[in-house]
Amino acid sequence: LQRLLKRYERHALNIPTSLNRVEQQLGFTRSYIPGLEPKDMLVTYQAINNHGKSWLSIEDGIKRSGFAIELFATQFSRQGEQIINYIEKMDFARQLDLTVADLSIEEVRNTAPVPLGETDQRVCITLAEFLKKTASQIKNHQHAAQTLADHIDTFSTVLSVQLIPGINDKVKLANCSDLDKQIQDLEKDIEQLTTEIEQKNNVNRPGF
């Protein structure tokens, strides 16, 4: 998928975006087919070009998001270990003779509250600040991820709802255009006209 997107991006960015360049690429300035004039193709080309440009910011967002999440995960893991060390050094933890890894949610709920000493209170404040900061960071990452997902969804929607149907319409116009039929009809008209002229000449020609 990545290679396909990069190929599409390169094609979209290199596509003609001026009427002069479109005419040069097509090889004509008029097609005499509604919907397939160079100016019509220019509109389609510009839409494709703008769509390709939009992927640049999405790709950059994906890279930045991945880096930010990796950095957050590293910091979270390191800070989490520090918090666990603090908790295990608290007076109540030493009294229970347990580590954080030994505790379960049920055990925590069933353990009777014990008064906290001054040191334990400071640890709890630090823990609360850490959790509050972590929650804020997670919320920011969720917002960034949702924004990125929305951009990707828009990119996909524009491609499937606007560009592809528009291109298909152009293809149908080209396939169903009566240009070839016009040429064939013109050839028949010329042949018929030639025959009629010859017949008229024969009628008007004096006999021998």
Per-residue pLDDT of the chain (208 residues; tens, 9 = 90+): 678 888 888 888 999 999 999 999 888 899 888 888 999 999 999 999 999 999 989 999 988 888 888 888 888 888 888 887 777 777 666 666 666 666 677 776 777 777 777 777 887 888 888 889 888 988 998 899 999 999 989 998 898 889 988 988 888 888 776 555 554 555 565 555 556 555 555 544 554 4
Question: Alpha-carbon distance 116 to 131, whole Å?
Answer: 19
Q: State the DSSP code for 27.
A: T
Q: Three-class SS of residue 56?
A: helix
Is the CB of residue 120 less than 8 Å from the CB of residue 135? Answer: no
Question: Which residue, among 184, 185, 191, 208, has the nearest Cα to 199 in the 3D structure?
Answer: 191
DSSP run (H or E) holding 120 = helix 118-157
With a CB cutoff of 8 Å and minimum separation 6, the contacts of 92 are: 114, 116, 120
Q: Which two tokens stand for residue 205?
A: 């020609």
Question: Alpha-carbon distance 60 to 76, whole Å?
Answer: 24
Q: Where are the domains of the chain?
A: 2-203
